[in-house]
Amino acid sequence: MLTAVSPANAEKLRVGMECTYAPFNFKTADGVLSGYDVDVSKGVAEILGLELEYVCQKWDGMIPALLANKFDLIIASMSITDKRKKKIDFSGPYRDSVGQMVARKDLGRDLFDSAGKPDPAAFKGIKVGLERATTYSDWFEQTLPSAKVVLYDSNEALYLDLMNGRTDVIMTNPMKAHLKFLSKDGNDGFELAGPVIDDVDYFGVGVGIGLRQGQEQLRDNLTGALKTLIKNGSLKEYALKYFPFQIHNDKWAD
């Protein structure tokens, strides 16, 4: 059973996140850290009686920074995958983890066949933008090794080069793509291309809270808190601030 402690006795934990990944974790114009991941972290902290300190960290250095003790938790929309679990541990999931292509409408080719499988021939002669050290780059490396890939250090640079014509296609989270890019004025020349890809081998069972291995009690407490947020409706409430639908599976609370 989870029991909250008083603020005076709260344990202080440092949380690593990008702080540039809207609408999941980002700073508003007045510098306030906001987003779905931030809401989740605060909900967990309230249940467990934790005091949180946020540390902004570039994505490709997130796991090394955790292992170097620069922070204690990763709450940054990090997918739970077998590859990552070799280095760190995870709580249970709190958000769906999928990928989808975004392409220019005038690309003039179908990237997927009638069965929904990527067509390697269709990717010849085009540039694909991917954020470095992500599940999307892993998926492309193994599924479409012949594709011409351009890697980026940030999500913002990824979208900028797609807009400027330096790349033809990107792969990212479709929820984020809709809110941050496709729904914006001036971007009607782009569209989601192909099906949602939910390959568990690459995208895992969902997004979880990362922590160093060997902290089983903390991991179980975090998982229990997330289940409470599902059961009491808070996780859905957080999602509806940014999306017209919830972005978790209610079965995760079982």
Q: In terms of domains, do 155 and 78 share one?
A: no
- Does residue 120 belong to any structural domain of this protein? yes
Number of other residues whose CB lies within 10 A of the CB of residue 56: 14
Q: In terms of domains, do 90 and 117 share one?
A: no
pLDDT tens-digit map of 49-91: 999 999 999 999 999 999 999 999 999 999 999 999 999 999 9
* Model pTM score: 0.78
Does residue 5 have a pLDDT over 80?
Answer: no
- Does residue 209 belong to any structural domain of this protein? yes
Closest C-alpha among 70, 38, 37, 68 to residue 55: 70
Predicted local distance difference test score (pLDDT) of residue 245: 84
Q: In terms of domains, do 113 and 168 share one?
A: yes
Domain count, the chain: 2
Q: In terms of domains, do 79 and 112 share one?
A: no
The answer to whether the beta carbons of residues 130 and 151 sit under 8 Å apart is yes
Q: In terms of domains, do 115 and 198 share one?
A: yes
Going by their DSSP bridges, the two strands 207-211 and 89-95 should be labelled as: antiparallel
- Does residue 2 belong to any structural domain of this protein? no
CATH number reported for the structural domain that contains residue 55 in this entry: 3.40.190.10
Three-state SS at 13: strand
- Does residue 50 belong to any structural domain of this protein? yes
pLDDT (mean) for 115-140:
94
- Does residue 1 belong to any structural domain of this protein? no
Predicted local distance difference test score (pLDDT) of residue 173: 87
Alpha carbon 172 to its chain's center: 9
Expressed as residue numbers, the domain containing 136 is 99-202
- Does residue 64 belong to any structural domain of this protein? yes
Q: In terms of domains, do 79 and 127 share one?
A: no
pLDDT tens-digit map of 138-175: 999 999 999 999 999 988 899 999 999 999 999 998 88
- DSSP for 72-128, please give it: SEEEEEEE--HHHHTT-EEEEEEE---EEEEEEGGG-S-SB-TTS-B-GGGGTT-EE
